Structure 1
Amino acid sequence: MKTITLLGATGSIGASTLDLVARNPDRFRVHAVASGRDWAKLAEIARACSAQVAVIADEDRLPELAEALAGTGTQVRAGSTAMVETAAEPVDLVVAAIVGAAGLAPTLAAIEAGTTVALANKEALICAGDLMTAAAARSGARILPIDSEHNAIFQVLEDVGRISRIVLTASGGPFRGLSREDMARVTPAEAVRHPNWSMGAKISVDSATLMNKGLELIEAHHLFGVGPDRLGVLVHPQSLVHGLVEYVDGSVLAQLGPADMRVPIAHALAWPERIETPVNRLCLATAGKLEFEEPDRARFPALALAEAALAAGGCRPCVLSAANEVAVGAFLEGRIGFLDIAAVVSDTLSALAVAPVTTLEEVAAADAVAREVARSFVAHRAAR
């Protein structure tokens, strides 16, 4: 039986993980669950899975959490230090699903402890990829990807030394066929309507701009140790092929599956074994034709910005991610237009020099500066 610590228990990845855990009580036992502020939902989860520990990042919510879990035997903790210490406690698997920079320190702590980490926190590799992979090399920790595309590559990757290219697929988002002129008029409500996946607003907008695929290229570089020249993207509107690996002999291996996050999560939870999932099975006979095309970087410049940030290295991916988060937030609030998102990111990257990041403190500093600069560009565009 595997013991699990679930960081980010109240989010969508947490919900899917807990669904699979509940369906396999003889295989998994929850040691700890953690969340940011939602003490009520965290308490409900801790009760349902009989967690030994429940951690809330917001220390002001500790009294409510303690009262809600009184008499259950679940130990309650609060604060960022408690989150890091809990992540470092010995378990078989840490699911790192805390969104944003708040997930960096706990994820690094789990890796430094030598624990296998099922990774859903994008910032861990985008902003601090070199730190995370270096720590894993020192401790012997294994990083298992939960993102559908990276998990797909992980499933079909036999030998990095014998591959020609790794290809991530993108649905193309809701505006795949729109001109730049039409995209200038799209609304936040239209941008969050992903054609295939059910996701949060921010990641749905990232999918619409293709920034999400650019961020995933950066993650793939760190996960698989492959240079930018051997990473690519194909637009695949059906979202049934999640990733492809081309080998030096000309063979191409692909992973296919339904658009359901429980598939990659189940793979990471059970690895190196497999467990059953309740998802709808993929039927190629009824799926129809599968289409693939090159992404249009002129209409979707965010992808090219991410590729350039990956090639430059240092703080550039962190700056890219931070500026994008600020710009997407402003778009969702109706302060800037859809096309302004990539423009704000581009302006921010141009305004800041390339610098190395070797510690989490340097990552945090680069993130903070990028956000400040991006906000100034947002304000300028909003005033036009």
Structure 2
Amino acid sequence: MTQRLPPSLTPLDAALTALLDRLEPHAPLELPLAEAGGCIAAGMPLLTAYPPRDVAAADGWALAANDLVGASSYSPLPLVSAPQWMEAGDALPEGCDCVLDADAVDVSGPLAQVVAEGLPGQNVRRAGRDVADRTLACAEGSPIGVADLLLARMTGVDRLSVRRPRLRIVNVPGATATMLTIVDIARAAGLQVSNHEARARDEASIADALDTSSSDLVVTIGGSGVGHRDAAVTALARRGEVIAHGLALQPGRTVAVGRLGKVPVVVMPGAPDHALAVWLALVLPIIDRLSARRPRRPLILPLARKIASGVGIAEIALLAEEQGRWRPLAVGEWPLRAIADADAWLLIPGSSEGFAAGTPVDAYLMRE
């Protein structure tokens, strides 16, 4: 059965411009490292050098390389005092600049003897080698990744300043699988997510769930169409303002956008492919503005084959990377298998008829 659409379709750019108008970044907050992953860095601290001093990079004997010139198994070098044994990670004693393997020093006799030469820095991790002094914990406006958290932990930082927008998700009964997918994506993006279920699929129940008291963005899932049981848009009109219902976007044409006071609202379709497309085309730009995120970097590769698109509708293509080229998996309509196999997505503007094979296109990775 053909999907019914709103009587007119708003251009994607016009809807996005209206949603972003006067939208300010969320205020920074400090979070423990366990909660900061995926959030957007804001006002990062300067890290101290790591390691703070020269340390052993392997188990062995701490010695000074200049004192070992000429030492060999044929000409052992006796030591006045036994060298200090190092475990990997131990700070080197004053005056030592190398760590020799266990069999390089013979301690069986009355005097310890060195039977091998050493080089300055041998088996030593120099001070500041891993992290230079006064290094930024993470570039401001960038997502905080696993490596950033590692550097912070190793240098003694236990909290980071981040922007973590608050997302309220309202699930309309009948779209649970889609809702759970969006929740997972939102949490992986570092958002503070609260999830709420409307009591029923009617206007009053959905309207009651549209609360912005602790939200920077509200997303409803399901009920965005024009069928008898699709009440999410009328619920938004009852509580706030509907900017547009029905966008020139495929998948995702029945999406609605609006506001509850100053808080932007996106009413997503319940189908997973349509909801995911709306997330990429509309929700990500809102999140980026709220979190003051640096512009996302596309990966530019040539197309393995042409993509055809109809003028007047912005379409999103799913792509897989193969031998340095983008292979189109689906355009406009997305089978679930294509979503699972996709490496990247490409927004085809409504003014474009598509791209010829071999054309370099700037696609964005599905998993950053």
TM-score by length of 2: 0.26
Structure of greater relative contact order (alpha carbons < 8 Å, 6+ residues apart): 2
| TM-score, with structure 1 as normaliser | 0.25
Higher strand proportion (structure 1 or 2): 2
More helix by share: 1
